[in-house]
């Protein structure tokens, strides 16, 4: 299975039409480059302001690229500034993710999508996981039986990837979540965005993979799941024309967690990882 991930695109409708062209050019590359993926995943903040116009414009572009059936989106804090998940999912039509969370089971892995975001909280962009989401995570971890569990959320786990030691840059009030995670026995992966910087950290059974904002650093990750390994790679597009368009788009934001590309890329160790495991018992 091949999964391609992006995050923090912050699709906006600028007064300057040139500022909007970045999103369309980036999405063409995200969906069109290299071998086709089985799933294409947005880790949140697909839109900047969470408005209906932004959602519909973003999904119109995605629809035009022919990969819509394989695309999954979980919300980021910016996506929920104007409306809750039920409304934004009507604007975007995002099965099998419903109300921000859901699961896809395959023979080789469990894909779990967790909405870690609060609704209409412009001044508190930290993550929260309520009881329903924790219960879903706990049940899927218990059912895995050695099969890898891949969790996709917008916020990082606390004290793992870059900047996750800071308030509002992580899942907050995470004691119950940490207790659940400590009970995991098989290979587990937590994929997130939010902090705009590439980072990979291993912690007990968990491998935490944070992806940079596609607006700060035009890039995407790929996750390749095989019978005995999960491999994560990074593609940085290195396209001067695309980078210039990204700068034009960023210039249209009055405020933004702007990370210079060199910092957003992280270190060499933050670009890829391969986690190998033996055959599971069935």
Give per-residue pLDDT as tens, 27-85: 999 999 999 999 999 999 999 999 999 999 999 999 999 988 999 999 999 999 999 98
Where do the DSSP E strands lie in 114-211? Answer: 149-152, 188-192, 199-203, 206-210
Residue pair 275/207 in contact (Cβ under 8 Å)? The answer is: yes
- What sign does the dihedral 106-279-208-273 (CA atoms) show? negative
- For 130, counting Cβ atoms within 10 Å of its Cβ (0-12 exposed, 13-18 middle, 19+ buried), the class is exposed
Phi, psi of 217 (to 5 degrees): -140, 100
- Band of the pLDDT at 110, cuts 50, 70, 90? very high
pLDDT at 188: 95
Kindly state the tokens that stand for 103. 């699961």
Kindly report, residue by residue over 161-214, the tens digit of the pLDDT. Answer: 999 999 999 999 999 999 998 888 889 999 999 999 999 999 988 999 999 999
pLDDT at 281: 52
Least confident of 64-68, 137-141, 203-207, 276-280: 276-280
> How much of the chain exceeds pLDDT 70, in percent?
97
Kindly state the tokens that stand for 185. 């026995």
For the chain, how big is the Rg over CA atoms in Å? 17
pTM score: 0.96
- Statement: residue 108 has pLDDT above 90: no
Q: Is 230 helix (H, G, I), strand (E, B) or coil?
A: strand
pLDDT at 186: 86
CA–CA dist 241, 245 (Å, integer):
6
Q: What is the mean pLDDT of the chain?
A: 92
What is the pLDDT averaged over residues 156-164? Answer: 97
Q: Which residues contact 275 (CB under 8 A, 6 or more apart)?
A: 187, 189, 202, 207, 229, 230, 231
Higher pLDDT, 152 or 253: 152
What is the pLDDT averaged over residues 139-145? Answer: 88
């Amino acid at each position: 299975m091949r999964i391609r991930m992006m995050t923090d695109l912050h699709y906006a409708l600028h007064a300057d039409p040139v500022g909007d062209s970045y999103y369309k050019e980036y999405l063409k590359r995200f969906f069109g480059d290299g071998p086709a993926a089985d799933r294409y995943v947005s880790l949140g903040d697909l839109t900047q302001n969470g408005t209906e116009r932004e959602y519909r414009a973003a999904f119109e572009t995605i629809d035009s690229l022919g990969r819509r059936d394989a695309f999954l989106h979980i919300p980021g804090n910016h996506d929920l500034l104007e409306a809750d998940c039920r409304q934004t999912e009507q604007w975007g039509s995002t099965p099998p993710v419903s109300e921000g969370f859901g699961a896809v089971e395959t023979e080789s892995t469990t894909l779990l999508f967790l909405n870690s975001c609060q609704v209409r909280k412009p001044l508190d962009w930290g993550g929260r996981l309520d009881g329903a989401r924790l219960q879903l995570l706990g049940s899927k971890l218990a059912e895995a039986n050695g099969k890898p569990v891949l969790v996709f959320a917008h916020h990082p786990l606390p004290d793992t990837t870059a900047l996750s030691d800071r308030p509002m840059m992580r899942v907050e009030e995470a004691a119950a979540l940490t207790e659940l995670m400590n009970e995991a026995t098989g290979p587990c992966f937590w994929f997130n965005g939010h902090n705009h910087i590439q980072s990979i950290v291993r912690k007990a059974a968990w491998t935490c993979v944070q992806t940079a904002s596609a607006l700060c650093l035009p890039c995407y990750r790929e996750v390749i799941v095989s019978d005995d390994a999960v491999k994560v790679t990074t593609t940085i597009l290195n396209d001067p024309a695309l980078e210039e368009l990204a700068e034009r788009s960023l210039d249209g934001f009055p405020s933004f967690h702007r990370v210079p590309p060199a910092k957003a890329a992280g270190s060499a160790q933050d670009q890829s990882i391969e986690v190998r495991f033996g055959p599971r018992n069935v």
